[in-house]
Amino acid sequence: MSTTLETGGQRADARANRAAIIAAAIACYTEQGTDVAIEEVARRAGVGRATVYRHFPTRDSLTAGIIEQFVVEFEEIAAGLRRGPESLFEMLRVTLGLKAANLPLFEMLPSRHEWTGEARSLSTRVETALAGHLEAAREAGVVRGDIDVKDVRTLVEMLAAAAGPDMPRDEQRRAWRLARAAIGPAPDARRGS
């Protein structure tokens, strides 16, 4: 068994087990719901039940691990996207894309307002990833100066509800236009008055 330490002081095999458990939990939750037995998650991950509990002592900590998987992906996309006038809107599209691609899972997970403990700190990480793109949009004048990251988070939730994957394209475009208008500069500012 390898004992090579990787970033964070965790052994490579332990990191692989953690990743396998999260992947298995995502699959199990999507197929069977969030009440699936931990034994089933362990079986699908190819590890023992004790290994699951070593990484995730509670069901809430497993849920936080799943949410963190999406947060890490979001952070990587945000870091790789060049900040500019439209990068905030690209991040909104990415967020909606992640939700649409994993809709059954997102519908089962608690909303961010219900997150507890570990998961709550992940909300701050999402806001931090968005902050630079929001600032670039404000500096370019495409977003009003009074809009903050919490407003953007609320906008994402509204868009996710209003512009779901089953909605016709013209309705999705209308939702995007309304979203841009909601956080964009005042009409007088756009005309230069």
Based on C-alpha coordinates, what's the Rg of the chain? 20
- Residues 11, 3 contacting (CB under 8 angstroms): yes
Q: Is 59-185 CATH 1.25.40?
A: no
Q: Give the three-state DSSP class for 127.
A: helix
- CA 188/CA 193 separation, integer angstroms: 6
User: Which amino acid makes up residue 158?
Assistant: M
Proportion of the chain above pLDDT 90, given as a percent = 41
Entry pTM:
0.76
- CA 52/CA 39 separation, integer angstroms: 9
- CA 157/CA 135 separation, integer angstroms: 20
Q: Which residue has the higher pLDDT, 112 or 15?
A: 15
Phi, psi of 37 (to 5 degrees): -65, 145
Q: What is the mean pLDDT of the chain?
A: 84
- CA 105/CA 191 separation, integer angstroms: 43
Q: Where are the domains of the chain?
A: 9-57, 59-185
pLDDT at 79: 93
pLDDT at 164: 63
pLDDT of 19 > 70? The answer is yes
Q: Which residue has the higher pLDDT, 106 or 48?
A: 48
Q: Which of 179, 84, 92, 98 is nearest to 133 (CA)?
A: 84
Q: How far is CA 53 from the centre of its chain?
A: 24
116-143 pLDDT tens trace: 666 677 888 888 999 999 999 999 999 9
State the virtual CA torsion across 65, 66, 67, 69 in degrees, nearest 10.
90
Phi-psi region of 11 (alpha: psi -120 to 50; beta: other; left: phi over 0): beta
Q: Predicted confidence band at 6 (pLDDT cuts at 50, 70, 90)?
A: very low
Quick one: the chain helix, strand, coil %, rounded to 5? 75, 0, 25
pLDDT at 59: 87
- The superfamily (CATH) of domain 9-57 is Homeodomain-like (1.10.10.60)
Q: Predicted confidence band at 1 (pLDDT cuts at 50, 70, 90)?
A: very low
Lowest mean pLDDT: which of 58-62, 117-121, 151-155?
A: 117-121
In the predicted model, what is the mean pLDDT of residues 8-22?
A: 85
pLDDT at 95: 83
